[in-house]
Structure 1
Amino acid sequence: MSDGSEAYRLHNRLPGACGPGALSKRRRGGAGCRPDRRDLCAGLAGINLGEFTVTAAYSASAYEMAADGRFSLLAGLLYKATGKTTSNGRLTEESPQPARYTLSYEDSKKSQQLRMSFAGGAVSDVKIVPHKKPNPRDLPVTAEQLKGVLDPLTAAFLSVRSDAPPGDLKVCGQTIKVFDGRQRFNIALTPKRTETLGRGAPKGLSARVAVCRVRYEPIGGYRPDHPGVQFMQKTDEVEAWLVSVPGTEFYVPYKVLVPTAWGTGTVTLTDMKVAVGAQRAAAP
């Protein structure tokens, strides 16, 4: 990126308990999230589900993001995988305009790579290796549905921008259109309440937080009778606690809570660093 760019790194770790369904004790001997590493760490019912590093750099007109790490997925069974994902594109006054998104992961049985390109404000190409035939029971994704969408990484970290003061629930009033290469869905944010950060929050963040209710709205590329899809459609208990990135107009999740049959999944931000480029820093 250019000298006038800004970069920030988010690193998170699992709190001692993840919510109402958390286990009384965390598993011993597991690879816990280390506070000395720059990690994004997710947990479910007291079990560490992964560690990720998320970095982003952007200028006035462009952005680049990357995330990598290891994670465990719950799909009936718990299994481990490692993966990397990247996204880059342009920043406009209206919204980010992704240009390319990649995702690669592998576990003990298989590996897969996904590459997705954008052009003219829409998805222009998707390549998945190895190719897998879509489930005939999945609802199709149409070309019209792929207009104006964001990839998952851009949607998570660059889709919410506002000049409203911290804790203002106006940041929750939007719907984010997402396509992950297979499934097209919306993430609808609506105001829920305001909260105050505790002493363990990263330094430099405002004490006031906007808590948004998050609704998952499947559009295409999914099986209507899938239990996970049905559960996420019905629940209104998913929350995103949004905090502003210091010195920017961007808001990122400080905490995300997701109820599941096993307990409450959570991701909590434990540190945030913002580096401002020389030209921007020298400006009056």
Structure 2
Amino acid sequence: MGSRRYFVILAALLLAGLAPGRSAGEEARPAADRVVATYDAGLAGMSLGTFKVIAKFDGSAYEMAADGRFSLLAGLLYSATGKTTSRGTLNGAAPQPAAFTLNYDGGKKREQRRMRFDHGAVSDVDIVPRKKKKNSRDIPVSAEQLKDVLDPLTAAFLSVRSDAPAGDLEVCDQTIPVFDGKQRFDLVLSPKRQERLGDSPNGVHGLAAVCRVRYKPISGHRPDHPGVQFMTKTDEIEAWLVPVPRTDLYVPYKILVPTGWGSGSVTLTGLKAKP
């Protein structure tokens, strides 16, 4: 699996909001106007870089921006930057994205993605540069599969309101439908265990709900690709979820993802919420 696809999937696991939604008809509004979360990323025991997400809320509308810088061996082995944005509304039981962008620069590999949504379904996708010829072994993405899906940033960061206390494994019981502009996949969460965090420099204490995460490819992928097969078979992906103080939002405290290059990890280093 290429580095870009790895980071897109990691971002979809990465930042917040995997708590269960309220029932249909209830207003889904966070208890903060602005949430800022910063993370450190690592790969095979080496520092990979940092990632920062800023989420702003105005009534039922939301806007998010995430910015990351990654490198290995001071950029000698690998260097990349990525920025992604998403906006939409929080109506009913789930968020409804309206637009998503991704800009990736990995030196010789650069890519821009733009997606637009209409009533919960993907209505337009633009990728630059676009492949001249699609791989005939890729499973085609159907229009039906693009209904009621989330972009990676909304799927990963945006949480609806939950009354579950810290460490309650109820937040791990759900399936998240994602489309990243190329691939349609589900992230299937299930309860695994509780972890006590102890003292933490980021101000988060108490219990974390540890969720087992399964990557389930649906379309837009090549079934015999080694990376796809590896991610599909592993049951070692974990998401540690904690509530944002004084709000009803949940964010990941830690993400653990096995890869072909070693274990990937993302750890919360800072968290601020403005009521």
> Shorter-normalised TM-score: what interval?
0.7 to 0.9
User: Could you say what secondary structure the match of 2:145 adopts?
Assistant: helix
What RMSD over aligned residues (CA atoms) do the two structures have, in Å?
A: 1.9
* CA gap 1:188/1:235 in 2 versus in 1, 3 angstroms: same
Higher RCO, 1 or 2 (CA under 8 Å, sep at least 6)? 2
1:9 to 12, 17, 36: 36
Q: Is the 8 A contact 1:160 1:171 kept in 2?
A: no
Provide the identity percentage.
65
Residue by residue over 1:78-117, the C-alpha shift from the partner in whole angstroms, topping out at 9 and shown as x without a partner, is 5322121100000123011000000011222142211000
Residue number in structure 2 paired with 1:91: 90
Letter aligned with residue 151 of structure 2: D
Residue number in structure 2 paired with 1:55: 54
Residue number in structure 1 paired with 2:149: 149
Residue number in structure 2 paired with 1:170: 170
The offset of 1:213, in angstroms, is: 0.3
The offset of 1:206, in angstroms, is: 4.3
Task: Map 1:193-272 onto structure 2 (within 5 A).
Answer: 193-203=193-203, 205-272=204-271
Residue by residue over 1:126-168, the C-alpha shift from the partner in whole angstroms, topping out at 9 and shown as x without a partner, is 0011221332211011111101110101111114642111111
Letter aligned with residue 95 of structure 2: P
The offset of 1:228, in angstroms, is: 0.9
Q: How far apart, CA to CA, are the structure 2 residues paired with 1:201 and 1:167?
A: 19
Letter aligned with residue 176 of structure 1: I
The offset of 1:180, in angstroms, is: 0.3
Residue number in structure 2 paired with 1:38: none
* CA gap 1:238/1:110 in 2 versus in 1, 3 angstroms: closer
Q: Is the 8 A contact 2:227 2:260 kept in 1?
A: no
Letter aligned with residue 11 of structure 1: T
User: Could you say what secondary structure the match of 1:145 adopts?
Assistant: helix
Which residues of structure 2 form unaligned runs of 5+? 1-30
Q: How far apart, CA to CA, are the structure 2 residues paired with 1:233 and 1:161?
A: 30
Moved over 3 A (4+): none
Aligned residues: 241
Q: Is the 8 A contact 1:166 1:206 kept in 2?
A: no
* CA gap 1:11/1:190 in 2 versus in 1, 3 angstroms: same
| TM-score w.r.t. length of structure 2 | 0.83
Residue number in structure 2 paired with 1:32: none
Q: Say which one has the larger Rg.
A: 1
Q: How far apart, CA to CA, are the structure 1 residues paired with 2:108 and 2:50?
A: 21
Q: Is the 8 A contact 1:52 1:68 kept in 2?
A: yes
Residue number in structure 1 paired with 2:12: none
The offset of 1:5, in angstroms, is: 6.0
